Amino acid sequence: MLPGIGVFGTGNLIKIAVPFLREKGFKIEAIWGRTLIAAEEVARDLEIPFFTNKIDDVLLRKDVDLIFIICSPNLHAQIAVKALGIGKHVLCDKPAGLCQNEALKMVRAAQYYPSLISIVNHSLRFLPAFSQMRKAIVDGFLGNEGEITICDVRVQMGSLLHDNYDWLCDDTMGGGVLTLVGSHVIDLVSHLLLQKAVRVHGVVRTFTKTTEHVNGIRHISSPDFCTFQMEMKGGTLVTATLNNHVPGLFNQEVLICGKGGHLIVRGGDLYGMKTGTTKEDVIYLDVEDLQKFKSINPIVANSIPRPYMKGLFKMIGALKEAFLPVEDKRGWVKEPVALAATFEDGLYVQAVIDALRKSSINKEWVKVNIIAEEPDPNPLLSAAVRRSGISI
């Protein structure tokens, strides 16, 4: 049985996700917006029966059993932890919070309620080209384990900013290409290579600090360019360049080289070439047309790159397969969503992002450190208490 859905957010991704969900048979019961006006406008456009600007008004509804969190990252952890505690399944957009501390709270909530779905929207995992790439790697197309040498990722696209100043302009609120695109890249690379980063080196820059519409007291602090390297545990070296300075264009290439040859995904197509040959072979061509979703505004559709849209559509299809065979609307089958990124994966991605930020500031290689305990908010006080032998 498919659960009723409550969505958090009023941005373009919501306007794409809702038609996808309905096409798969899900019913959208409620929507939350930062302001009541924003929530009402999107609810009217998408024909959602209930709207609010109060988080609990959605979470406490009895007809809502699956929560889609696609709002500003500063609210991700708060909503996800509360939703799991109430007994709701959760799909959370990237990133998993603003820092490792928030991501760790999400991990612990998911561990405490293992019977509930808790996944992060790293939709590229479900894109068929990357599914085929991962299968080819596992099957030894590039060589044996330990023979994969290089992974090179390049993403070129236009600005992520809106006309008005909002959280996308603010680095501390989760805006910027490193958080919004880099998180996908970091997760995807680890998923494909079956390896995690050990050390990283990065350069993160904000070149566009004002625009025609954002030019007052507040300036843009979210990065619009970054390039970084990651040394993976299995020995693979990863390089990535993310560029927001190419308006009107989206170009994404993921190249993985090994002793046995190379694999490359361009957009949504997969090509491969074995060592000793002179021509690339077509392994997978993406021919699926999203034009069948007539209810999606073309302007909205053009704001989200096609690979991410198609990955989201495939992930929603996997969610349907996970819920449909079970009569209880809160029950689900794990296998269809086994590829999805977990909150633990979200914590790892956040650890890499933290290390990249530190590397960019200090101009040095930084070890990736995944926290297991929440940091002490007042270490000086705690040390004084320990020395005095007083317990609080």
pLDDT at 391: 47
Which pLDDT belongs to residue 274? Answer: 95
Supply the pLDDT for residue 378.
Answer: 63
* Four-point Cα dihedral 188, 193, 196, 202, nearest 10: -60
Note whether 306 and 251 are within 8 A (CB): no
Distances (CA, A) of 35 to 10, 32, 55, 206, 349: 10, 8, 11, 29, 30
Sort 332 into a burial class: Cβ within 10 Å, 0-12 / 13-18 / 19+: buried
Q: Which pLDDT score, from 0 to 100, does residue 43 have?
A: 95
3-class state of residue 263 by DSSP:
strand
DSSP string, 38-105: HHHHHHHHHT-SEEES-HHHHHT-TT--EEEE-S-GGGHHHHHHHHHHHT-EEEEESSSSSSHHHHHH
Under CATH, domain 4-124+305-350 is a member of which superfamily?
NAD(P)-binding Rossmann-like Domain (3.40.50.720)
CB burial class (10 A; 0-12, 13-18, 19+) of residue 372? Answer: exposed
Q: Is 216 exposed, middle or buried (0-12, 13-18, 19+ CB in 10 A)?
A: exposed
Q: 52-57 long-range contacts, Cβ below 8 Å, gap at least 24?
A: 55/8, 55/79, 55/82, 56/82, 57/30, 57/32
Amino acid letter, residue 276 = G
The secondary structure element, H or E, covering residue 225 is strand 225-232
Number of Cβ within 10 Å of residue 377's Cβ equals 8
Residue spans of the domains in the chain: they are 4-124+305-350, 127-288
pLDDT of residue 61: 95
User: Minimal CA–CA distance to 31: which of 21, 23, 20, 41?
Assistant: 41
**DSSP percent split of the chain into helix, strand, coil, nearest 5:** 40, 20, 40
261 CB contacts (<8 Å, ≥6 apart)? 141, 142, 143, 272, 273, 274, 275, 277
Q: What is the pLDDT of residue 298?
A: 73
CA 368 to mean position of chain CA atoms? 19
Question: How far is the CA of 267 from the CAs of 153, 155, 178, 247, in angstroms?
Answer: 12, 10, 19, 17
CA atoms within 13 A on the CB side of 332: 24
Task: Say which amino acid occupies 258.
Answer: G
- The length of the chain in residues reads 392
CA pair distance 294, 269, nearest whole angstrom: 24
Q: What letter represents residue 326's amino acid?
A: V
Chosen CATH of 127-288 out of 3.20.20.70, 3.30.360.10, 3.90.190.20, 3.30.310.160: 3.30.360.10
pTM: 0.92
Q: What was the pLDDT predicted at 291?
A: 62
Strand-by-strand arrangement of the 237-243 sheet:
281-284, 269-274, 261-266, 251-258, 148-156, 237-243, 225-232, 197-205, 366-367
Residue type, 160: L
Task: Print pLDDT tens along the chain (392 aa).
Answer: 899 999 999 999 999 999 999 999 999 999 999 999 999 999 999 999 999 999 999 999 999 999 999 999 999 999 999 999 999 999 999 999 899 999 999 999 999 999 999 999 999 999 999 999 999 999 999 998 889 999 999 999 999 998 889 999 999 999 999 999 999 999 999 999 999 999 999 999 999 999 988 888 889 999 999 999 999 999 999 999 999 999 989 999 999 999 999 999 999 999 999 999 989 999 999 887 666 666 677 777 777 889 999 999 999 999 999 998 887 767 888 999 999 999 999 999 999 999 999 999 999 999 999 998 887 666 656 565 555 555 44
